[in-house]
């Protein structure tokens, strides 16, 4: 039974606008407003090239975006504060500062990784689940830094990056990147009330098809979405969605 919506967008602008409107609906739907800061919706946001039109659309209405608590999805291990390779820095400049999002659950790259993972796990135990998870997908099917063979039940953990991930992330042009990272686990993402998967470009077409319609397997981490019980929306461009059966798509 179909339990998700897939929006096919004709260009980057409509991709950004569609992602923005799905996101705003999700955030507004998550809680009543106004709320105390500790009750703000908990929102996971991805880095990468894919979400750029979405972030641009959000910045265009920065003053009108509802407040939320940003929760980091993944981060390299071992970088110092302010390092431009940090995902937290990337998101800070791209979206958090422009939107004036001040509540931030950021991973500390420079901390002892084992203690940091414990801290993140404890935080989720105390706070509860994610309200809205906005995610990208890697060419190898990873979500966050959950590389192939990551366990579906795993919570925040330390991960060794796949060579293909290292190569694609070094292509962002900020220099060599660490080989290890901390990521929220699939088990954390599985508990989110709502998930918005963003996908652009033909390099993602095969893996998206496998993730949504192939075997549910830890070899393709994003295939957990087939077992996911929350509300799932996929926003994609024509290239990324080229392998998905037309009957599954909404056109925009």
| Minimal distance, residue 242 CB to ligand PGA, in Å | 16
CB under 8 Å to 130, separation ≥6 — which residues? Answer: 42, 43, 44, 71, 184, 188, 189, 191, 192, 193
**What is the gyration radius of the CA atoms in the chain, in angstroms?**
17
Known catalytic residue: 142? yes
Task: List the x/- string, 46-75, binding to ligand PGA by CB under 6 A.
Answer: --xxx-------------------------
Q: Tell me how far, at minimum, the Cβ of 1 lies from ligand PGA, in Å.
A: 28
Ramachandran bin of 52, using left for φ above 0, alpha for ψ from -120 to 50, beta for the remaining angles: alpha
Rounded alpha-carbon distances, angstroms, from residue 10 to 61, 133, 192: 22, 24, 28
Report if residue 136 touches ligand PGA, rule: CB under 6 A: yes
Q: Is 140 a catalytic residue?
A: yes
- Is 214 among the residues that bind ligand PGA (CB under 6 A)? no
Choice between 113 and 136, CB closer to ligand PGA: 136
Q: Which residue among the candidates 89, 108, 142, 157 is catalytic per the annotation?
A: 142
Other residues' Cβ atoms within 10 Å of the Cβ of residue 70: 22
141 binds ligand PGA (CB under 6 A): no
Name the minimum Å distance from CB 227 to ligand PGA: 20
Window 169-188: contact mask with ligand PGA (x via CB under 6 A): --------------------
> How far, in whole angstroms, is CA 9 from its chain's centroid?
19
Work out whether 16 is an interface residue with ligand PGA (CB under 6 A).
Answer: no
Is position 147 annotated as part of the catalytic site? Answer: yes
Interface ranges with ligand PGA (CB under 6 A) = 48-50, 136-138
């Amino acid at each position: 039974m179909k339990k998700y919506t897939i929006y096919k967008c004709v260009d980057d602008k409509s991709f950004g606008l569609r992602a923005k409107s799905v996101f705003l609906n999700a955030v507004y739907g998550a809680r009543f407003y106004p709320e105390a800061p500790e009750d703000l919706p908990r929102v996971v946001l991805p880095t990468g090239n894919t979400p750029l039109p979405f972030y641009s659309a959000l910045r265009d209405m920065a003053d009108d975006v509802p407040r939320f608590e940003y929760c980091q999805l993944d981060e390299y291990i071992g970088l110092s504060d302010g390092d431009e390779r940090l995902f937290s820095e990337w998101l800070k400049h791209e979206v958090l500062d422009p939107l004036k999002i001040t509540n931030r659950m950021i991973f500390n790259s420079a901390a002892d990784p084992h203690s940091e993972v414990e801290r993140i796990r404890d935080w989720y135990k105390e706070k509860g689940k994610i309200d809205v998870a906005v995610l990208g997908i890697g060419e190898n099917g990873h979500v966050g830094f959950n590389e192939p063979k990551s366990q579906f039940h795993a919570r925040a953990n330390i991960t060794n990056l796949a060579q293909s991930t290292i190569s694609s992330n070094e292509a962002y042009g900020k220099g060599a990147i660490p080989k290890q990272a901390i990521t929220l686990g699939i088990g954390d993402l599985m508990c989110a009330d709502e998930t918005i998967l963003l996908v652009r470009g033909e390099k993602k077409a095969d893996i998206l098809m496998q993730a949504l319609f192939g075997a549910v397997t830890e070899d393709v981490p994003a295939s957990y979405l087939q077992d996911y019980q929350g509300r799932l929306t996929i926003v994609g461009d024509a290239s990324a969605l080229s392998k998905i059966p037309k009957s599954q798509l909404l056109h925009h």
